[in-house]
């Protein structure tokens, strides 16, 4: 299995509180991603990173911020959690040899977040 660890694996938090999810990789892959997965919507990209301090938005980035200060760590922060952010969050990594192409992504185990 690719060396990707998400923490925490489960979290319950209250509306309005900030929450940070961590993704740690040991593969030295350049690209890291945060997705959320919801019934009826599938996997949707929140943010991704293509290098240290280099990040970009995905299709559902509102209410989320990210940071990548080291190659191995990619943090996802919910600035003020809402019930609509209750979801399963997956981190993924990839390492394309050609930035114009795409290679397979390897996924972490997921974090189940419940906002009450």
Interacting residues with another protein (CB under 8 A):
31, 35, 40-45, 48, 50, 58-59, 90, 94, 96, 99-110
Name which of 41 and 70 has its Cβ closer to another protein: 41
Q: Distance between the two ends of the chain, CA-based, in angstroms?
A: 33
Name which of 7 and 107 has its Cβ closer to another protein: 107
For tokens 């309005």, name the residue. Answer: 16
Asked whether the beta carbons of 66 and 76 are under 8 A apart, the reply is: yes
Asked whether the beta carbons of 73 and 22 are under 8 A apart, the reply is: yes
Name which of 80 and 103 has its Cβ closer to another protein: 103
Least distance to another protein, CB of residue 41, Å? 7
């Amino acid at each position: 299995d690719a060396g990707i660890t998400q923490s925490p694996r489960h979290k319950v938090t209250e509306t309005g509180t900030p929450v940070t999810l961590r993704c740690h990789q040991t593969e030295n892959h350049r690209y890291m991603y945060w997705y959320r997965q919801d019934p009826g919507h599938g996997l949707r990209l929140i943010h991704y990173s293509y290098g240290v301090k280099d990040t970009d938005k995905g299709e559902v980035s509102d209410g989320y911020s990210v940071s990548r200060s080291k190659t191995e760590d990619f943090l996802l922060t919910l600035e003020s959690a809402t019930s609509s952010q209750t979801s399963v969050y997956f981190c993924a990594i990839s390492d394309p040899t050609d930035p114009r192409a795409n290679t397979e992504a390897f996924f972490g185990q997921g974090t189940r977040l419940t906002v009450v």
